[in-house]
Amino acid sequence: VDHREPEALTALLSKHPDINVESVSLPLADIAVEDSDGNLLLIERKRCDASSGKTDFEVSIQDDGRLFDQSERLKMAVGASDKQIIPIIMIEGDVYANSTTMLCQQIDGAVSFLSAIQRVSVLNTYNLNHSAYLIAKLASHFDGGLYAPVSLHKAKPKAMFEQQRYILEALPGVSSKAAELLLEKFGTIRNVMSASKEQLLSVKGIGPKKVAALDELLNG
């Protein structure tokens, strides 16, 4: 998290047991999430809270134009890196209700430019608490995929169930969730391997393509 961001944001993120937060001077974006492979999720946060003057979002467009400079630099970083970089603009607060100097059409134009021209995702949050929650959710999905915990192939499993799931995850098309469902249905790896096509198809998330791939692997 960039050192200029509020301490409250760092404090909220630090409450998550699986998140390590560092306050640093970031050359790009306000929040940078790095996965184990060095890929980056870069988040530029713009406040749109109710106040007597312009919002941070308006100032960054009308006064110094830094928002479009920042989005251009994010776009360039994506093209210049040999790692995966996902750029996001996070608008915190009601940008339409709290903007004092920009029309709805102007706001839409700015968001459209960021999304369609700069190819930067634009996400909206209600407040700082919501921003912290969404950042944590983005970090979880970015580093570990859809399901939690992350793939067991990143760590040696200990419990018997986890060891069984670990082995099944190595099969073609079998996700962590699918491995759990297979074990819940059949109980053991041996039973999974000896199950008929009809029995496998009865498991939610296991379709004909996955069954065909498993059959080819086991019997091909």
How many residues can be counted in the chain?
220
Cα 199 versus chain centre, distance = 34
Residues 169-184: pLDDT tens digits?
777 777 777 888 888 8
Residues whose CB is less than 8 angstroms from the CB of residue 219 and which lie 6 or more positions away in sequence, other chains included: none
Count of other CB atoms within 10 angstroms of residue 120? 22
CA 78 to chain centre: 16
CA distance 54 to 68: 17
Omega before 149 within 30 of 0, i.e. cis = yes
How would you classify the pairing of strands 85-92 and 40-47?
Answer: parallel
Cα angle for residues 153, 166, 36 (degrees, 5° grid): 15
What's the number of CA atoms in the CB half-sphere (13 Å) around residue 197? 12
pTM: 0.65
d(CA 66, CA 177): 43
26 burial (CB, 10 Å; 0-12 / 13-18 / 19+) is middle
* Residue 176 near residue 194 (C-beta atoms within 8 A): no
What is the model's pLDDT at position 5? 95
Alpha-carbon distance of 79 to 200, in angstroms, equals 43
Q: What is the mean pLDDT of each run of 10 residues along the chain (220 residues)?
A: 94 87 94 90 92 88 92 91 93 93 95 94 93 91 64 48 78 78 87 88 84 78
> How far is it, in rounded angstroms, from Cα 190 to Cα 185?
12
Nearest Cα to 26, choosing from 48, 47, 7, 42? 42
The pLDDT, as a whole number, for residue 157 is 47
For 190-213, what is each residue's pLDDT tens digit? 888 888 888 888 888 788 888 888
User: Which residue in this structure is represented by tokens 């040999």?
Assistant: 82
Query: What is the rounded distance in angstroms from the CA atom of residue 109 to the CA atom of residue 85?
Result: 25
